[in-house]
Structures are given as C-alpha cells and as structure tokens.
Chains A and B, each alone.
Chain A
Amino acid sequence: MVTKSEEDQLNRLEAQVDNAGGGAWEYLCLVRKLKVRRPDKVLKHGLAILNDSKKRSALGTEEWTLCEQVAVAAMDCQSLDVAKDCIKVLRKRFPDSKRVGKLEGMLLEAKGLWAEAEKAYSSFLEDNPFDQVIHKRRVALAKAQGNITTAIECLNKYLDTFMADHDAWRELAEIYISLQMYKQAAFCYEELILSQPTNPLHHLAYADVLYTIGGLENLQAAKKYYASTINLTGGKNRRALFGVCLCTSAIGQLSKGRNKEDKDSPELQLLAVAALEKDYKQRAPGKLPLLTSALKSLRVSS
C-alpha cells in the first residue's frame, strides 16, 4: 500500500519531471518501488533516458532494469515496436534468462497471440513448477481473453499451493465480485483481513460485500467492519461513514416490529452523521443540503 507521504513524493516528482525539471531517474525508481501503474509517463521519460547514450551509460547496470520497466510500459501503451526493441536488447544481453522469457510471453499476450503465449508459459512452468510470476501471468492471460472461469480455476489452483500470497487473494476477490459471487468474495476478503489486519481497505471492502449480501447478521457484521474502518483511518473515510448510516437504517428496517431489546444504540449513526456533515461543510458546502436530505431519509423511524 502506498502511504500518503510516498504519494505526495510521487506527485511532486511527476510534476517536476513533466515540466522538464530533471529528476526523471528518481521518478522512475519510485514508480518501480511503489509498483504504481503510470505507463505513459514511464514510457516517455524512460525512452528519453535510454535513447540518450550518455545518460544510458551513466546508469551502469541499472540500465537493464530500466529497459525492462520501459518494455512493460510500452506494452501497456500498445507501442509494441518499442517493446520489441527493448526485449531484443535484453535478450541479447541475457540469453538464458527466465525474466526475459516472461517479457516475451507478455509481448505475445499484448499482440493477442494467446495460444503462443499459453505455450510459452506452460513450457516455463514445466521447467520450474514453482515460479509464482509465471502462474500469475497465466491467470492474467485467461482474464485478458475473457475466460473468467479459467482464470478462477487457475487462480484457485495457484492458491492451493501458495496460500500465503495476499495479492492473489485480492485478485480472486475482485474477480468474484465481478461475477457477483459474493460469498466467495467474502471468504477471500477474510483471508486478506487475516494476513493484514491493520489495513483499512480490506475491512472496507469486506463490509461492502457483507452489506451487499444482506441479511440481518451480515448487516450487523458490516456495521462492525465499517466502524473498524473508521477506527483504523481515524474517521477520515467517508465511505465508511456512509456505510455506517446505511447499515443502521437497513438493520432498523429489517428489525422493525421485532422486540427492540437487542437493538443497537443509535449513537453510532448519530456520530457518523455528525462527522459527515462536518466534513461536507468543510470541503463541499454546496452539497451540504443534498447530504442532509439524503441522511434524513435514512433516519430509522423508531
């Protein structure tokens, strides 16, 4: 997860580099470290460095990492010729490298030659059945072809062996959500929460899924997870605040007519509403009346 300070630094470097202020190499290193996706900028500035032979020789051995980064960015922007050139250079330098092989597979994918790419990946997996990167590329291949079920199958098989890989769980959760298989998505989010309990995004996503599934128990759990998200983010997450209000009103609607003994106190909702109103007053005072009317309709009529 990218922290706020890193995000600020990234934006600052980006602005600096865009205005031709130098610092392109630091920007590219930061992009690589944070694993953010900025293909157009990486391509533009990376290519500028690579084409300038003086700057290129100044990099030394880092030149090849830059080459790889530019190749991936080029494939992202569909400049396949640039990508092909970069890969050719890399292949000449590292003739027996699996990393270059993976790039070549990605190029085949980018060109749309699914069968060849599949063949290439399977041959890599025969050599080393525990190459995590190639497994994930196979899943991406299936997903790009639109074969979601194959993707799910491959991903499940991968997770059977490598069950501690939280990125894979996240991907699986997103795929399940896109297919509206919410129960399975909830399971995946639970795994994510187990591996990173202090990450508020997982709590938020889990709460969303629980709210979507519905049912009184799930709504109560969802409210708890929205509350924990608010706790973890220090009250700054507007989505969680809204979530709390929605959950409370939904619970109230569902339990209308039942005995009110085990009803939760309405304090949480009132607090959330107050926080939201304060936030809107600060940032978007024009939308405040919209907010108040929307929230009023959510008030549980007890």
Chain B
Amino acid sequence: MDKFRDCGDIKKDLRYLYTVQFWVFLVSRNANRGERKSRERERGAMAEDLVLDTAIRDWVLIPLSVVMVLIGVLRYFVSKLMRSAQIPDAKLVKEGQVIVRARNLRAAANFIPPKSFRARRLYYSNEENGLLYVPKGQAPNAQAQMFSDPNMAMDMMKKNLSMIIPQTLTFAWVNFFFSGFVAAKIPFPLTQRFRAMLQNGIDLSTVDVSYVSSRSWYFLNLFGLRGLFSIILGEENATDDTQRMMQMTGFGFDPTKPGC
C-alpha cells in the first residue's frame, strides 16, 4: 500500500504546484497589463509548462500498463479453460472447406486449363445444385441466425461477458485510485473539445488539454496493447476486444446483394 500513499503525496504536491502556477499566472497578468502581448506569450509558456514528477511515471503509468497486460493474459487463460469442446456442425465444416477451395480457384484460376476452370465454376455457381449458389433473398441473415441458435448465443454471451467484466473492473479501479491528477502529457496539441474526455479528474479548466488524466492512459493501453498481446499470446487470443466490438456493429451483411 506504500505506493498509494506516495500517490497521495504526489496529489498533494501537484495540487500545490498547480495552485502556485495558477496564482503566479494571475499575479503576473494583473501586474503587467501594459505589455500584454509579449507577456502573454511568456505567461503562456509559463502556464503551460507543467513539471510532472517522475514518480508519476514510476507509480502510475508503468503499474497501470503492467496490470492491464497481466489482466489480458489472465483472461486469455480463463477463456481457454472455459471454451467448451465444440462439436463442429457438419454443414459449417463443409461450407468452410468449400469456401477455401473456391477461394483457391479464384486466386489461381490462371494456372489451370480454361475448360477445367469453367467446369469448376459451374460446379459452384450452378443454379440447380451449385455448392455456393444462394438464391436471391434467401441468404440467412447472419445476425438472426446468431440469436436463434442457442449454442452460439451462449458462446457470444460468454465471450462478451469475459470482455465486459474485466474492462469495467479495471476502469473502476483506475477511476478510484488514479484520479484527480495529471498523469501524462500528449505530445501533440489538442482542441478544447477533448477536455471533457481526457481530463475528467482535473478540475482546473485552464490547464492545457495536452495534459491528460490517467483515464486516458487506460484507454490508450486498452487499444494499444492489442499488438503486444498478439506477440505474446499468438494470433488467436480472446483479448481482441476491438475486433469483436467492430464485429458487433457490422451485422446486416447479405451476400446476395451486390456491393457487400
């Protein structure tokens, strides 16, 4: 618990630092109204030049990243344990293989004689019994299928839960322990609109938007550690939340309609 006491010290120090800077800023503004232009530039430099204690880096940024990596690894192992042995559906397996074969046909069509290519193409897209032929309008809507099949629905629920719960818990933890101080400075300037999102714990409205709270560090890690996980845990890992989030929004895909 020592590091949290240190954080409290940092909080106190930083609040003191802010207040000092703020009063310095006010005082200098009032005192030198005449030479506003050059002074403002100077004041701007002084007011924006916050010195962040290195202890923040040691006790906030690095532990937060480490904790997120560990939680990700934990989730990966838990998901591996919880994965029920799926008996693959006959139709799905065959469909998967047909798709691979058809894809090969499309990719390497130049390598076989034209007669063979035409024969195979007809085999797939024949109107009566072609393997890949889907009459217009009959294509099962992927989303409806997903909800009607109870096994798949359970699986989706499990996967979503395993994503939502750790995220919520970590977010709450970050908010509780690491709020109320400036955690990092973003190297590029931002507009004022980001203030609400990035500086939630910091109640001073004059601090430059580049100085962000630890909540934004949490979000940065959330999206950024994906690459790290794919190196550590191999390609297929359950921590690929962003992909799943994209999947959830991308339904309504009808293969018979053109332009999909």
| Residues of chain A having any CB pair with chain B under 8 Å | 128-130, 160-165, 187, 190-191, 193-195, 197, 221, 228
Contact across chains for A194 and B105 when beta carbons are under 8 A apart = yes
Tell me which residues across on chain A come within 8 A of B98, comparing CB atoms: 163
Is B101 touching A164 in the complex (CB atoms < 8 A)? yes
Residues of B near A161 (CB, < 8 A) are 90, 93-94, 97
Q: Which residues of A contact B109 (CB under 8 A)?
A: 194
Instruction: Verify A129–B101 contact, CB threshold 8 A.
Output: no
How near does chain B come to A291, taking the closest CB pair, in angstroms? Answer: 31
Q: Is the CB of B112 within 8 A of A193?
A: yes
Closest-by-CB residue of A relative to B100 is A164
B104 and A130 within 8 A (CB):
no
Can you report 6 residue pairs joining A to B where beta carbons are below 8 Å apart?
Answer: A130-B88, A162-B97, A164-B104, A187-B116, A193-B108, A194-B101
Residues of chain B contacted by A162 (CB below 8 angstroms): 93, 97
Q: Which B100-149 residues have C-beta < 8 A from chain A?
A: 100-101, 104-105, 107-109, 111-113, 116
B90 & A194 in contact (Cβ 8 Å cutoff) = no
Is A129 touching B90 in the complex (CB atoms < 8 A)? yes
Chain A residue contacts of B111, Cβ below 8 A: 193-194, 197, 228
Q: A193 contacts which chain B residues (CB < 8 A)?
A: 108, 111-112
Number of inter-chain CB pairs below 8 Å: 48
Q: Within 8 Å CB of A191, what residues of B? A: 101
By secondary structure, the B interface counts as helix
Contact B100 A130 (CB under 8 A): no
Q: How far is the CA of A195 from the CA of B87 in the complex (A)?
A: 27
Please indicate the chain B residues that have their CB under 8 angstroms from the CB of A129 in the complex.
Answer: 90
- Chain B proximity of A129: nearest CB distance (Å): 7
Task: Give which listed residue, A128, A164, A190, contacts B112 with CB less than 8 A.
Answer: A190
With both chains docked as a complex, state the minimum distance between the C-beta of B107 and any C-beta of chain A, in angstroms.
Answer: 8
Q: A161-B97, A197-B111 are in contact. List 16 more A-B contacts (CB 8 A).
A: A130-B93, A161-B90, A161-B93, A161-B94, A162-B93, A163-B100, A163-B101, A164-B101, A190-B113, A193-B112, A194-B101, A194-B104, A194-B107, A195-B104, A195-B108, A197-B107
Size category of the B interface is: 10 to 19
Most B-side CB within 10 Å, residue of A129, A160, A194, A228:
A194
Chain B nearest CB: distance from A12 CB in Å?
31
Most buried by A among B88, B108, B111: B111
Cβ of B104: which chain A residues have Cβ within 8 Å of it?
164, 194-195
Residues of B within 8 Å of A163, CB to CB, are 94, 97-98, 100-101
CB nearest to B99 among chain A residues: A164
Q: Which residues of A contact B97 (CB under 8 A)?
A: 161-165
- A residues near B88, Cβ cutoff 8 Å: 130
User: When A and B form their complex, which 3 residue pairs have the shortest distance between CB atoms, in order from nearest?
Assistant: A164-B100, A197-B108, A164-B97
8 Å CB contact of A221 from B107, B108, B113? B113
Residue of A nearest to B116 (CB): A190
B207 to chain A, nearest CB (A): 56
Q: How far is the CA of A155 from the CA of B87 in the complex (A)?
A: 22
Query: Which one of A187, A190, A193, A228 has the highest number of Cβ atoms from chain B below 10 Å of its Cβ?
Result: A190
Q: Within 8 Å CB of A128, what residues of B?
A: 87
A160–B91 CA distance with the chains assembled, in angstroms = 12
| A129 CA to B98 CA, complexed, in Å | 18
Nearest CB in chain A to that of B105: its residue = A194
Q: Which A residues are CB-close (under 8 A) to B112? A: 190, 193-194
Q: How far is the CB of B90 from chain A (nearest CB, A)?
A: 7
Query: How far, in angstroms, from A190 to B118 measured CA to CA in the complex?
Result: 13
Query: In the complex, what distance in Å separates the CA atom of A187 from the CA atom of B105?
Result: 13
In the bound complex, how far is the Cα of B97 from the Cα of A187, in angstroms? 18
C-alpha spacing A225/B107, complex, angstroms: 18
Q: Please name the residue on chain A nearest to B98 by beta carbon.
A: A163
- Cβ-closest chain B residue relative to A164: B100
For the complex formed, measure the closest distance between the CB of A119 and the CB atoms of chain B, giving whole angstroms: 22
Min C-beta distance of B145 to chain A, whole Å: 21
Of chain B, the residue at the smallest CB distance from A159 is: B97
Nearest A residue (CB) for B94:
A161
- Give chain A nearest CB distance to B118 CB in angstroms: 12
A195: chain B residues within 8 A (beta carbon): 101, 104, 108
Distance to closest chain B CB from A150 (angstroms): 22
A236→B105 CA distance, assembly (Å): 28
Interchain CA distance A165-B107 in the complex, whole Å: 17
Instruction: Report the bound CA distance from A161 to B89 in whole Å.
Output: 11
> B90 contacts which chain A residues (CB < 8 A)?
129-130, 161
Contact residues, B173-211 vs A (CB, 8 A): none
